[in-house]
Amino acid sequence: MLARLLERMDRSRLPSAVVSLTTGPPPGAFDGTPVHTLGMRPGLPDPRGLVMLGRIVAHERPDVVQTWLYHADLVGLLAAKWKSTAAVAWNLRCAALTVQESSRAVVAVRTVLARLSSFPDVVVANSDAGRMAHEAYGYHPRRWAVIPNGFDTSVLQPDEATRARTRAALGVGPTTAIIGLVARLHPIKDHGTFFEASAELIKTYPDVVFLLAGLGVETGNPTVAAFFERFGLDPARYRLRGTQDRIDQLLPACDVCTLTSTSEGFPNAIGEAMATGVPCVATDAGDCRRLIGDTGRVVPVREPRALAEAWRSVLTLEPADRARLGRQARQRIIDTFSLDRIVAHYVALYEDLAAAARERHA
């Protein structure tokens, strides 16, 4: 989302620079934007990184320091207050996270941030769920802003040729249903519920294949193998594709896309599928219900039978009705969550913060 934001902003009005706390983003992620790297090791505090960040802030002389995720919120606030008069905007990208779903270190940083949350000029959350969760954690900012993720509907769109090509590459016939899940293999994504629901669906809807993509979702992963054994699944029904750079080439092959998370902020995976014209079924986590609206199905978390029934209810629609649902999903993204609309919200926020920072400095 940050890369898309910087790509779409008018650089003549809002010139920007990116600082990575670690080794830096993949090549090409921020073309046209200067990128600094601090080389900090994940999970290990390093005062030298803060000193380096302070020097970068002093050199760049920003009007606004926008931080992205917890650790950046902490060191970015310290460096900005130490070396500049810039406005500071934190950015929250998640909702509720327990120790089991993250780590004790992350929870500890979040606790510190809650106590410091009145210092930034604004705290941006990408979901209503994220704002409410962090208020419960003790966040008490001077100002909240909720700006959801945005989706590039010029790239993410229905494409019959891509659909046919991808399905052929997957070895799936034109009439077989494909249910897709794009999520890294992590407890918070609850792949167990997905696999259990797939076993339930097959009992009454056997002409179906399951397509999974995301970090760790690969053949040979022992966690995936354990799910197959636990639920008595036939691996031939599953296409495991791991990390994918071109998700827009994969999504059109699906008849339904799904998400089984126990906690979410504002899920990119669902918005991308909807933009592609694919009906979605998701658990009631984070802002999934707000995103899907009446264009798909939302079920309780950790209820595989409810998930399987929701899949079945979409797959058994008449083809014209399912296609209509997909068109409604795409139109909802265009009308409410298009990338240009979301970028405009950020630009308005940054210009407001910059004006206030300049006035304060003067």
How do residues 145-182 score in pLDDT, each as one tens digit? 999 999 999 999 999 999 999 999 999 999 999 999 99
pTM surpassing 0.85?
yes
- 243-260: per-residue pLDDT in tens? 998 999 999 999 999 999
Q: Quote the Cα angle for 313-316-320, to 5°.
A: 110
Within 10 angstroms of residue 111's Cβ, the number of other Cβ atoms is 11
Q: How many angstroms separate the CA atoms of 274 and 320, rounded?
A: 17
> 96-145 pLDDT, tens per residue?
765 555 678 888 899 999 999 999 999 999 999 999 999 999 999 999 99
Domains in the chain: ranges and CATH: 2-150+339-361 (3.40.50.2000), 160-330 (3.40.50.2000)
Contacts of 2 (CB under 8 A, 6+ apart): 18, 68
Q: Which residues contact 48 (CB under 8 A, 6 or more apart)?
A: none
Rounded Cα–Cα distance for residues 340 and 342 (Å): 5
Helix/strand/coil percent split, the chain, to 5: 45, 15, 40
**What is the pLDDT at residue 311?**
98
**How many CA atoms lie within 13 Å of 157's alpha carbon, on the beta-carbon side?**
6
